[in-house]
Amino acid sequence: MPFTFSIYDFTGFTQWIDATLRGACSPFWAVLWEMVIVGVLFLAFYAVVGLYLVYAERKVCAFIQNRVGPNRVGPYGFFQTIADLIKLLMKEIISIREADKLLFNLAPFIVIVTSFLALAAIPFAKGLHPIDLNIGVFYVMAISSMGVVGILLAGWSSNSKYSLLGAMRSGAQIISYELSVGMALVTMCVLAGSLQLSVIVEQQRDLWFIFKGHFPAVTAFIIYMIAATAETNRGPFDLAEAESELAAGFHTEYSGIKFAFFFLAEYMNMFIVASLAATVFLGGWMPFHIPGLESFNHVMDFIPPVLWYIGKTAFIILLMMWFKWTFPRLRIDQLLNLEWKFLLPISLVNILIMAFIVLMGWYIGL
């Protein structure tokens, strides 16, 4: 297989790697080597994205709050979060005498592993898609909802009342908001007719789903944004942490690198829900096309798909940061009210409307 590399299509490149490896060693070792390569790449990706999302959040919140933000370490404070990470690495890991040692140590790993797993199914660009599961949407949903186990364990095993309250809040919150996230995604899957993320992206070739599905798609998008913000435990739904009420919620007793795990996982979860939203609603790596305007579509095709993907994800992340730094926090009963009295009924009706629209063919597009 000849070496090909194109920023517009990574399929040739990944196939070339596969073919080269299979030519050099037995299939078992070839797969193993591929796993190692992807794993190392993902680890690096994870660290870079996690750290720079923290940096981005600090800068965004600083600008929203009319101040400068980190600006001491490196130009524009670019290495601030790296310095913070080094500090966290060097800090003492405090062990609690009365804590359940095993679960206490296990909890941050559960949280971080689940956020790591979900990355595997996300299509980053054409051909840059680790595993193209035929139940991609379902897989991401299922994996990302497992993170709550880690949070519950962290709160429970810390043997602290503040942590326990935070964990219980988080449990109630995530279990109920999972529903709305699922419903919003199901609405879009009805439109797409598939759960496979690559198919979903491919179907948005002529028009993104948020425009194609017009009214119900926009509603689903708003519901997804609210529910996803809640599911990632971010403000205004950061009840599990609630620093003005519970000191730090479920991770009150954690220190050093274990705390950093929770911190990174929060940002990675945000990245995952944002990229899922970008994929399902905004077309993933698919450039912006308008049916009928061929020259415009052609210009749009010149922008590499990776940039489209990153841009859309960044936009959603910015939106979520904007939420967090504007609104006060909800109370736990209001949070559940919002879910069970507003989001869930609306999204159920929304699915019906969407199904009807799909059946009648009333969506925009060819």
Interface residues with another protein (CB under 8 A) are 60-61, 63-68, 71, 161-162, 165, 169, 235-236, 238-239, 242-247, 322-323, 325-334, 342
- Rounded CA-CA distance 158/119 in Å is 29
Helices (H), 26-79: 27-64
H-run or E-run covering 316 = helix 305-324
Nearest distance, CB of residue 245 and another protein, angstroms = 5
Nearest distance, CB of residue 325 and another protein, angstroms = 5
Nearest distance, CB of residue 76 and another protein, angstroms = 12
H-run or E-run covering 25 = none
Nearest distance, CB of residue 71 and another protein, angstroms = 8
Give, in degrees to the nearest 5, the angle at Cα 114 between 239 and 131: 135
Tokens matching residue 349: 């009706």
Nearest distance, CB of residue 14 and another protein, angstroms = 38
Nearest distance, CB of residue 141 and another protein, angstroms = 25
Nearest distance, CB of residue 249 and another protein, angstroms = 11
Nearest distance, CB of residue 42 and another protein, angstroms = 31
Provide the phi-psi class of 174: left if phi over 0, else alpha when psi is between -120 and 50, else beta.
Answer: alpha
Residue number with CB closer to another protein (15 or 65): 65
Residue number with CB closer to another protein (60 or 306): 60
Residue number with CB closer to another protein (121 or 270): 270
How far lies 226's CA from each of 84, 195, 236, in Å? 30, 22, 10
Residue number with CB closer to another protein (75 or 328): 328
Residue number with CB closer to another protein (109 or 325): 325
Residue number with CB closer to another protein (89 or 349): 349
Backbone angles phi, psi at 99, to 5 degrees: -80, 160
Residue number with CB closer to another protein (15 or 334): 334
Backbone angles phi, psi at 29, to 5 degrees: -70, -35
Residue number with CB closer to another protein (296 or 342): 342
- Rounded CA-CA distance 274/285 in Å is 13
Residue number with CB closer to another protein (104 or 162): 162
Helices (H), 119-196: 136-144, 147-157, 161-192
Listed as own residue / partner, the contacts of 95-103 with beta carbons closer than 8 Å and 24 or more positions apart are 96/158, 96/159, 96/160, 96/253, 98/159, 99/157, 99/158, 99/159, 99/253, 100/156, 100/157, 100/159, 102/157, 103/153, 103/156, 103/157
3-state secondary structure of 158: coil
Distance of CA 299 to the CA centre of its chain: 29
Nearest distance, CB of residue 234 and another protein, angstroms = 11
Backbone angles phi, psi at 128, to 5 degrees: -100, 75
